[in-house]
């Protein structure tokens, strides 16, 4: 196996194991997002499988003697010489160094956005819980009980009364 093929295969296997597909799937809220995520996962697994199968195998060596018997030595020797003269250049990765810092910065930004999103979700869940509690008590709640939970509303009303503003 060639060194680069082995490296690509190993990276593909590691990447596949490192992804928490189930954990990410739990974060999705819409049906459309779930469908897109399932498509992404299938595509990733297909590409990963292709990388593992294509790059993990050495090509079969050419049986030049077999072709000499059927075609003749001159033609086969000409093809063999041409085949052996082909030099496949080694791939030099110039793209990764260029984009790695940008990608790393995006990962940091993504993690910050994730944390902000989790905090916002937590805040919204608390607000929903408060609204559900208020909904249960609204029919029996007094203005004083409401103002106790929402002093900013009481302050607004007091300011309007104090400034002789009656809403018209």
Within a domain: residue 160?
Answer: no
Within a domain: residue 15?
Answer: yes
Radius of gyration for the chain, computed over Cα atoms and rounded to the nearest angstrom: 33
Within a domain: residue 44?
Answer: yes
Domain boundaries, position 21: 1-58
SS3 call for 104: helix
pLDDT digits (tens, 9 = 90+) for 26-76: 887 888 888 998 999 899 888 888 877 776 667 788 899 998 888 888 888
The pLDDT, as a whole number, for residue 137 is: 83
Within a domain: residue 83?
Answer: no
User: By the 8 A CB rule, do 157 and 144 touch?
Assistant: no
Which percentage of the chain shows pLDDT scores above 90? Answer: 22
The pLDDT, as a whole number, for residue 1 is: 45
Cα 46 from Cα 12, distance rounded (Å): 11
Within a domain: residue 27?
Answer: yes
Number of domains in the chain: 1
Within a domain: residue 23?
Answer: yes
Within a domain: residue 159?
Answer: no
91 pLDDT more than 90: no
Entry pTM: 0.39
């Amino acid at each position: 196996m060639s060194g680069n093929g082995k490296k690509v295969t190993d990276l593909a296997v590691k990447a596949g194991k490192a992804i928490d597909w189930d954990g990410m799937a739990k974060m999705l809220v819409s049906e459309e997002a779930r469908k897109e995520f399932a498509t992404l996962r299938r595509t990733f697994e297909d590409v990963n499988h292709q990388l593992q199968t294509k790059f993990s195998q050495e090509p079969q060596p050419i049986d030049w003697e077999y072709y000499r018997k059927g075609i003749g030595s001159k033609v086969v020797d000409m093809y063999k010489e041409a085949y052996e003269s082909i030099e496949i250049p080694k791939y030099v990765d110039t793209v990764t160094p260029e984009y790695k810092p940008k990608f790393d910065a995006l990962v940091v930004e993504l993690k910050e956005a994730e944390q902000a999103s989790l905090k916002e979700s937590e805040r919204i869940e608390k607000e929903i819980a408060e609204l559900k509690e208020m909904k249960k008590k609204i029919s029996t709640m007094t203005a004083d009980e409401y103002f106790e939970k929402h002093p900013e509303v009481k302050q607004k009303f007091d300011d309007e009364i104090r400034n002789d503003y009656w809403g018209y």
